[in-house]
Chain A
């Protein structure tokens, strides 16, 4: 009806709801089916398998695996490493985000690319570089040996490797937030006589808190889950230099599949918690965007 009034002679607009304007009926279910099928093969089934394998003989073997000394030591080491790495990389990430997000200088683009390097290179190459620097034949090798400090195949090397691979997360999440928030409020605070620390603590930090928290969560997930780089520098000795991800591989290689999957469930839950927190934070920032 309406179409006929303004349409050029001889042309009929397709009526609303016709197959011409809307997708053919089979397209939507087919595409959804392919997407879910693909995700099932690659993601869902392997994830379900972790929980199935860990619990298929009931809860008892699962809990007995979780109380084995090797597992407990690995879990403790994983926690301690992440307790050191996450705060250090958070402070660095905040500083780097401030430098990049609040300043214009030559080499700024280069600095941003440098920050991406730990993500771009293989974790094994990262571990190798740390071995070549702190190992017995490395640059600092003789000096460390004289001081009787063991870095490679020991705790400090594992901390360094973990810190290396998780270095960019906080800065990368905070920089865009910092740029979007702008400097108006900070300048207002400065005019009102606040010092740098007060401005950071009372003005900047509250406005970037969700982005910062997101970066911290990602740092923590990677720090607790890192395998390649830590594997290279640790030597993987049970009860000494074995973290949870290394424990999983070691147990699997020793045909202790049940123990491997029990530890995998713990790491899998860490991943689930990370994803849930990520969803919550993304919703929080989205709501904020709508409000503004």
Chain B
């Protein structure tokens, strides 16, 4: 056996692999090939680059004060933005499903605008509207509140881009919900508030949570609108994606890679968490 040549033996592993490849149809080949080239290879390149740094060095860059402050600004602001949208997004979904009012269809369609509008346009117009002499910013300026070019501006941009995730996750569930249950609760003497709190909200809750998680995940990675609306000053309103960008601009590939790897790990953890939430949601649906 040891002497048999791989090429002449029809039962050799190489032949087996060749036959297996022959069985792969075109769609399989394109899917796996394209995914490997476009997705797996770049991820592998970054992880390998990150692994060449020694752990002490990696840890030092990943937890440097400027990085810690950037995580703080990014994740805390994104969380607040997603939670605010959790409340108002649910309210908007409720209004769009339950009530009729003029221009409802147009308003419903415009909720998707942040999906369709390029992020740099969003950043440009938010920076102008919320600046000291902008339409909305000028209302807050006399109170001493600056929005554009501060952390508040970052928050507004994150609210803008994460809003449709919550509305569009909650809306279909609300649409399916039977009104009879609420009427039954009313008939049994529950107050309006009790009906909402104990009958409507519990089945909606997994969807609201999923929407908030999706919005949070999007807000954490956002770059285009936030970089324009913020002043990008370290320890003030510098977010992690901008920090990665600045590191690259200074040709500090090691620094960019370490912070990029931290962000990638958190994004993948969020993706995993969202998948678990979706599974929970489906079980809730029965």
| Interfacial residues, chain A to chain B (CB-CB below 8 A) | 13-14, 20-21, 23-24, 27-28, 31-32, 34-36, 38-39, 41-47, 49-50, 53, 91-92, 94-96, 98-99, 111, 113-118, 120-126, 128-133, 135, 137-139, 160, 163-164, 167, 218, 221, 224-228, 231-232, 244-246, 248-249, 252, 257, 260-261, 264, 267-268, 270-272, 274-276, 278-279
Contact = CB atoms under 8 A, between A and B. Distances in A.
Contacts of B96: 35
B110 A275 contact: yes
B160 A42 contact: yes
B221 A122 contact: yes
Contacts of B129: 45-46, 49
Given A121-B221, A164-B38, 10 more contacts: A36-B107, A43-B163, A122-B222, A122-B244, A125-B260, A130-B42, A132-B253, A245-B119, A275-B109, A276-B109
Interface residues of B, number: 82
B230 interface: no
Contacts, number: 251
A122 B241 contact: yes
Given A35-B95, A45-B129, A271 B117 contact: yes
B124 A114 contact: no
B160 to A, nearest CB: 6
Interface of B: 26-28, 30-31, 34-35, 38-39, 41-43, 45-46, 49, 88, 91-92, 94-96, 99, 101, 107, 109-129, 134-136, 156, 159-160, 163, 183, 186-187, 192, 217, 220-224, 227-228, 240-242, 244-245, 248, 253, 256-257, 260, 263-264, 267-268, 270-272, 275
A245 B118 contact: yes
A43 B39 contact: no
B223 A43 contact: no
Contacts of A225: 116-121
Q: Which of A91, A226, A267, A276 is packed against the most chain B CB atoms within 10 Å?
A: A267
A264 B124 contact: yes
Nearest to A282: B109
Contacts of B119: 225, 227-228, 245
A108 to B, nearest CB: 12
Nearest to B103: A36
Nearest to B247: A128
Contacts of A46: 122, 125-126, 129, 160
Given A42-B163, A113-B275, A128-B260, A123 B118 contact: no
A271 B122 CA distance: 11
A195 B30 CA distance: 20
Given A27-B192, A45-B136, A124-B223, A227 B118 contact: yes
Contacts of B122: 46
Nearest to A224: B118
B116 to A, nearest CB: 4
A286 to B, nearest CB: 12
A34 B91 CA distance: 8
B120 to A, nearest CB: 4
A225 to B, nearest CB: 3
A31 B267 contact: no
A232 B124 contact: no
A31 B113 contact: no
Nearest to A273: B116
Contacts of B223: 122-124, 227-228, 231
B31 A35 contact: no
Contacts of A218: 115
A122 B226 CA distance: 12
B32 to A, nearest CB: 8
A151 to B, nearest CB: 12
Contacts of A137: 253
A38 B92 contact: yes
Contacts of B95: 31-32, 35
A272 B50 CA distance: 41
A46 B164 CA distance: 16
A99 B160 contact: no
Contacts of B245: 124, 231-232
B263 A122 contact: yes
Contacts of A28: 99
A270 B90 CA distance: 28
B116 A31 contact: no
A27 B91 CA distance: 12
B30 to A, nearest CB: 4
Contacts of A268: 117, 121
Q: Which of A21, A96, A261 is packed against the most chain B CB atoms within 10 Å?
A: A96
Given A227-B119, A267-B121, A43 B244 contact: no
Contacts of A224: 118
Nearest to A266: B121
A81 to B, nearest CB: 13
26 contacts: A14-B187, A21-B186, A27-B192, A28-B99, A32-B95, A34-B88, A43-B113, A43-B160, A49-B134, A95-B26, A115-B35, A117-B271, A125-B267, A131-B248, A137-B253, A224-B118, A227-B223, A228-B222, A228-B223, A244-B118, A245-B118, A249-B228, A257-B128, A271-B113, A272-B116, A275-B109
A92 B34 contact: yes
